Chain A
């Protein structure tokens, strides 16, 4: 187990329990919650965990600031979409689209990296911003290819859709002992479990979950490999890393490429799940900000942190409005205004500021090292 985790444990007992719990909930999500919204949230948690972790590879480990991460995410998603449209509805299309998206993302990352990672960090950040903006404009201006602002809807193999039935969970009926069922009018009560239909949608969810799990574990492995240690060294002191014999530019470019490839894979998973891609869901600058928040809230340079950050932010985005709606029905005039569901962004912002103020090393950093982050 520890070996699969690359010897990189979450870092504290509480964290280990929390992550185990998270995994259990995600694994049982289709059967724990009713309705498609919960499952959709669970799938988004998986995808964004991968996306945030892949951003951590460059931001947290290599110390590179990039604003092009959503572009790579989008490329992966559009890869699957375009392949599904042009190759036809098939698993081959999913595979080919994923690989193509990954290759394009890696190539683009290599180009940007080679042109701009030699110079100052701020310059690289600007270049990524420019390229990502240009890419987003390009996508919206090429409706024939990309569907423009409307995006693309396509069909994935039937085996992965709600229409397909893979089977049913066995039904278990437990008759409760009389003692427990005493509130009943005398007869034994029967508790019925299972019997649920396993649709293709659920299989699709497990594809997303399994894929995300493998990707996050792979990234944990990378950061604990010699390569990952070099990235940390470069982040800490690039001059010294170079003096010790590491060609800093090459490592930076390699990190950018690897991170982009993982982002594209996250995008491909997202595309399989949504069966739709559009600029707003994969390329928008809002998502870039979300990723940054996830990494910072969770704790940079830990992989575990961004995963936690993704869980936190996706849950907040999905349910904060509901919670606020509940709170604004209390009938207290000022509070009702304050808790208006439309104000959810305000509350998220507040939570972010508190987070950065009190856990400067992120949630995971805080739980690993106690108050004040790393000693």
Chain B
């Protein structure tokens, strides 16, 4: 079997005495979309934080394409192809929507250190940025300041920044939470498109089980920071432990 795109080995994050992520070992392959579910406070976001380098792993290792990235800073991980969209929207509020996306494109094209080139004259960047804005349906708002967008549009831009990075491993943390009902399907379709690309590996935190069932090849369940279940959607949803811990409520919703 091919080497996993991303792997965590006994990954543990402690905040003082509180264990937010508890020895999670998991492998994620390219061409696969894994949904991560679990109740509020289960440690899903913290798991992403540790993988992306936002918080330090207290113990364990993180491997990207087989290489240990546990000690790398966040930016270096991104440059190696690990991209992330935040649950709490994190944008450049005082810059235009277009500029937000272009900054991600510019990072992806490794042009940030150019001191005297004119950013506005770089058509390759502008075209790539516009293409992303089309994908997340924000083209008509290009000129607006990111901080002035509605909450739903900011969520779209959050996804846009990740897509613009063209990573190999995508970490989506509840990407459609807070989006209007008519905007969410387009974003979910985008995620489906990404999954279809056999070179991409997608991790998706998502509460709505209907969405999870439709998109996921595999589900892992976190409970109190620990891995409680791991398998195909059918397997996981049948497991008692999962019903008890979490899914009982959500299955009823779905």
Contact = CB atoms under 8 A, between A and B. Distances in A.
Interface of A: 6-7, 218, 221-222, 224-230, 232-233, 235-237, 239-248, 251, 254, 258, 374
A374 B95 CA distance: 11
Interface string B76-118: 1011000010100011111100010011101110011111111
A230 B116 contact: no
A244 B119 contact: no
B119 A245 contact: no
A230 B95 CA distance: 11
B117 A242 contact: no
A242 B86 CA distance: 13
A231 to B, nearest CB: 10
Given A243-B52, A248-B75, 8 more contacts: A226-B112, A227-B113, A240-B92, A241-B92, A243-B54, A243-B78, A244-B107, A247-B75
16 contacts: A221-B118, A222-B116, A225-B116, A226-B112, A227-B112, A230-B106, A233-B92, A237-B93, A240-B92, A242-B74, A243-B54, A243-B84, A243-B86, A245-B75, A247-B75, A254-B113
Nearest to A231: B112
B165 interface: yes
Contact of A245 (B79, B117, B145): B79
Contacts of A227: 112-115
Nearest to A237: B92
Contacts of A237: 90-93
A93 B165 CA distance: 49
B120 A245 contact: no
Contacts of B161: 240, 244
Nearest to A222: B115
A247 B73 contact: yes
B144 to A, nearest CB: 10
Nearest to B158: A240
Contacts of A226: 106, 111-114, 117, 119, 122
B121 interface: yes
Given A237-B90, A240-B91, A246 B120 contact: no
A244 B145 CA distance: 19
Contact of B92 (A228, A232, A258): A232
A17 B58 CA distance: 60
Residue with the highest number of chain A CB atoms closer than 10 Å, among B54, B84, B113:
B113
Identify the 10 closest CB pairs spanning chains A and B, nearest first: A245-B78, A236-B92, A245-B107, A226-B114, A247-B75, A240-B90, A230-B112, A244-B107, A226-B111, A245-B79
